Amino acid sequence: MIISVESLKKTFKIVKRNEGVKAAVKTFFSKEYETITAINNISFSISEGEIVGYVGPNGAGKSTTIKIMCGILVPDNGNCVVNGYIPWKDRTKYVKEIGVVFGQRSQLWWDLPVVDSFSIIKNIYKVPENDYKINTKKLIDLLDLEQIVKTPVRQLSLGQRMRCELAASLIHMPKVLFLDEPTIGLDAVSKITVRNIIKQINKENGVTVILTTHDMNDIEALTNRLLLIGKGELLFDDTLEKLKNRYNPQKIITVKATDDINAQINGLTLNEKNENQYVFSLNPELLSLPEAINFLNTRLKITDMTVSEENTDSIIVKAYKEFSI
């Protein structure tokens, strides 16, 4: 396991304030505090080369967990080991092993050309000159940055900047990449580009990726595993497919055919028939999709077929409701 998280807990003290000028003045001289539990007894492990989605509503504890894993915060209790390092104890050595991209924060120097930011990052991480040249050339080609690396960051579009942010996080070739909302605010084309790049980096370099996002299309396109957090606790740790089957096991199969169906099979229910169109609901716990399609093919002369299911956002909302988050 490249990442091991055990029983992490983190609390914050915040000042209690009531409305009104008098309450504000009182708070200035005499503060009352309350303790907020950001994460409570979080445990999971991640294997090398995995792409894992870490999702939950605002305030669930995602950013707190990521900041602990990056070494920015120290937990109250529990332990975290990433590639053999305890992040908050071995920060100088540890940061060379990780890359971080925060969608709403930049690691690039605003008024400098992108390539100058790359050079500064090279010196910060003490990347050997030859390795730097090889890595930057590869990243510039991969991310299609040739036309913009000499442009000041402030003159870039959001999509261009995010591609540069990805390159900056990978100059020192980290083993773990933390992505916090990497496609926030991007247009459809830029989102697809960023997703493809992440998949390629993961495949070619074996980089382990932890992705936090509210965009379920990112999760579907990139991850093979989902961690769902709510109210500071880990609620689900499995594949997205299992989450879908848990909250919406049925799939809808719509078939256009030139004849009539004359048989039934357990797990496939005819919901609607309109002339030459049939709408079936499939329960995959009783019948697999390939079995259902094979059954229909042998009973109908099919001219067209579509398979649909409830979108992932709706599935996540159902999970939130069950866990009262």
**Tens digits of pLDDT across the chain (325 residues):** 899 999 999 999 887 776 766 666 666 667 777 888 999 999 999 999 999 999 988 888 998 999 999 999 999 999 999 999 999 998 888 988 999 988 677 889 999 999 999 999 999 999 999 999 999 999 999 888 999 999 999 999 888 898 899 999 999 999 999 998 888 878 888 888 888 889 998 998 899 999 998 888 899 899 989 999 988 999 999 998 888 878 776 788 999 988 887 778 888 988 888 888 989 988 888 888 899 999 998 888 888 999 887 778 888 888 888 777 7
What does the chain come to in residues? 325
What is the Cα–Cα distance from 67 to 124, expressed in whole angstroms? 20
The answer on 266 and 239 residing in a single domain is no
pLDDT of residue 237: 93
Q: Rg of the chain's alpha carbons, rounded to an integer?
A: 25
Domain-embedded: residue 108: yes
Strand order, beta sheet including 51-55 = 98-102, 176-180, 208-212, 51-55, 225-230, 233-238
The answer on 276 and 156 residing in a single domain is no
pLDDT of residue 214: 86
SS3 131: helix
pLDDT of residue 23: 63
Q: Which phi and psi (to 5°) does residue 175 adopt? A: -90, -20
The answer on 197 and 72 residing in a single domain is yes
- Structural domain of 102: 42-244
Domain-embedded: residue 320: no
The answer on 273 and 236 residing in a single domain is no
What is the Cα–Cα distance from 69 to 176, expressed in whole angstroms? 10
Domain-embedded: residue 159: yes
Which CATH number do you get for residue 107? 3.40.50.300
Contact 8, 76 (CB under 8 A): no
pLDDT of residue 67: 92
From 202, 225, 244, the end of a domain falls on 244
The answer on 280 and 183 residing in a single domain is no
Q: In sequence order, what are the residues at sequence separation of 6 or more whose Cβ sits closer than 8 angstroms to the Cβ of residue 276?
A: 256, 257, 258, 303
SS3 116: helix
What is the Cα–Cα distance from 207 to 205, expressed in whole angstroms? 5
The answer on 121 and 257 residing in a single domain is no
Alpha helix (H) residue ranges in the chain: 21-29, 62-70, 91-94, 114-125, 129-142, 158-170, 188-205, 216-222, 240-247, 289-299, 312-322
The answer on 278 and 176 residing in a single domain is no
Other Cβ atoms closer than 10 A to 216: 18
The answer on 273 and 181 residing in a single domain is no
pLDDT of residue 80: 95
The answer on 294 and 182 residing in a single domain is no
Domain-embedded: residue 36: no
Token output for 263: 């048989």
Based on the structure, what is the number of domains in the chain? 2
Threshold 0.95, pTM exceeds? no
Give me the DSSP letters along 229-255: EETTEEEEEE-HHHHHHHH---EEEEE
What is the Cα–Cα distance from 7 to 42, expressed in whole angstroms? 5
Domain-embedded: residue 286: yes
Domain-embedded: residue 136: yes
Domain-embedded: residue 4: no
Contact 303, 280 (CB under 8 A): no
Rounded to the nearest 5 degrees, what angle is found at the Cα of 207, between the Cα atoms of 114 and 153? Answer: 10
Contact 159, 186 (CB under 8 A): yes
pLDDT of residue 17: 72
The answer on 191 and 47 residing in a single domain is yes
Contact 190, 159 (CB under 8 A): yes
Domain-embedded: residue 164: yes
The answer on 158 and 82 residing in a single domain is yes
The answer on 280 and 207 residing in a single domain is no
